[in-house]
Structure 1
Amino acid sequence: MKNGLFAGIGNHNIIPAVRKAEDLQKACDSEWPMIFLLIGDLFTVEQYVRQGLEAGKKVFLHVDFIGGLGSDPLVVKYIAEKIGPTGIISTKNHMVKQAKKSGLQAIQRLFLIDTSALEHGINNVRQNEPDALEVMPGLIPRVISELHSSTSRPIIAGGLIKDHQEIQTALQAGASAVSMGNPALWHSFAQA
């Protein structure tokens, strides 16, 4: 499904998830048009976001991982007005809702460890209306397929993805994209 989040990026279905500062430039230099930033703190995050945006990337900031910002919804308003990423990623319902109110795109990250977590996740998506879901771990094709048919949101598979076959399995199950933190895999999938 192509909504505002995936509009204009064609079939680019790998999303570099930057977990180390030294990988940010690799993500900026990659052919993939979107970056997930899982690094930074109060002092560095603005520069990291700017670096990604200046490289022409859609930059999504994982607000749960940014040191010094906390989980008050006001943080999202600050991020929208002062830092200016394309959007945010969060596991927290109130942060996703505030992102939408603040004009940012929002990706809700779901950890699906059992049936109860799946049902709870589907209910949260219906209430929060994120632009997309990131499903963790990304190695659960049946659940990706179920979420794909139960919600009207794009699904991003993430976590524990280690090779091309796992990427293809997630995409075939209905994921719109796969996020991963391994720069070698970003580049090797682009060459495939």
Structure 2
Amino acid sequence: MDNREFISRIEQTPIIAAVKDHEGLETALGEDVEIIFVLYGDVCTISEIVDEIKAAGKVAMVHIDLITGLNNSRDVCVDFIKNNTQADGIITTKSNLIPHAKELGLSTVLRYFILDSMALTNIEKQSRTSGVKPDCIEFLPGIVTPKMIRKINKVSRVPIIAGGLISDKEDVMNALDAGAIAISSTNEEVWGL
């Protein structure tokens, strides 16, 4: 899947199901979501998890940092995902993995935690760094103020996804109205909005 197709799928269905266990995955597979963020698994199970998602015709993005056995900052972890799964891409907090994943043709989401003003500075610095250009960035928590979402959108050179602690339609609408391209949530009630 190329960058344009990935972004197009997000724009068509801006609510992303983030799953943290098999029960959540089963629920997400039955929902009208196009993209699933996989936040669980290990090197022995990730291929099967991704196969279920792909069999349902959905986009599978693996949060590589959360997969037991792949949670280090080496390119070989990305190689494993590419060579041993049908995943469409990766999510990571490790910016050094983004260029290699892009070289392999994987879609990429770089995740940031917005804890203080330094996080905003890091997003801006990262967006100017040559060689590190993810398809999207995801920031957590996604319920930051609309003013902060607009600031993040202004400094980011790629589309932004709001993730974490989004629990109702108001949270979704606030994030989207402030400039996020999508939201991701583990809250199953949000998936059906």
TM-score (norm 1): 0.92
Name the CA shift for 1:126/1:148 in 2 (closer, same or farther; >3 Å). same
The alpha-carbon distance between structure 1 residues 165 and 6, as it changes in their structure 2 partners (threshold 3 A), is same
Aligned-CA RMSD value: 1.5
Residue of structure 2 in register with 1:100 after alignment? 102
* Contact map agreement 1:135 1:156 (CA 8 A) in 2: yes
Deviation at 1:143, TM superposition (A): 2.1
Question: Is 2:79 the counterpart of 1:74?
Answer: no
Match of 1:26 in 2: 27
User: Aligned pair 1:5/2:40, yes or no?
Assistant: no
**1:40 — aligned with what?**
41
Counterpart contact for 1:5–1:132, Cα < 8 Å: no
- Which runs of no fewer than 5 residues in structure 1 stay unpaired? none
Distance of 2:61 and 2:18 partners within structure 1: 9
Q: Percent identity?
A: 35
- Normalized against structure 2, the TM-score is what? 0.91
- 1:184 aligns with 189
1:124 paired residue among 123, 126, 132: 126
Task: Provide the C-alpha distance between the structure 1 equivalents of 2:116 and 2:70, rounded to a whole number of angstroms.
Answer: 30
- Please tell me the residue identity of whatever aligns with 2:110: Q
Residue identity matched to 1:26: T
Name structure 2 gaps, 5 residues minimum. none
Q: Give the secondary-structure state (helix, strand or coil) at the position aligned to 1:5.
A: helix
How far the C-alpha of 1:29 sits from its partner, in A, is 1.4
Q: Does 1:64 align with 2:68?
A: no
1:115: which partner in 2? 117
Distance apart, 1:8 and its partner CA: 4.3
**8 A Cα contact 2:11 2:182, kept in partner:** no
Residue type at the aligned position of 2:136: A
Q: Which amino acid aligns with 1:132?
A: C
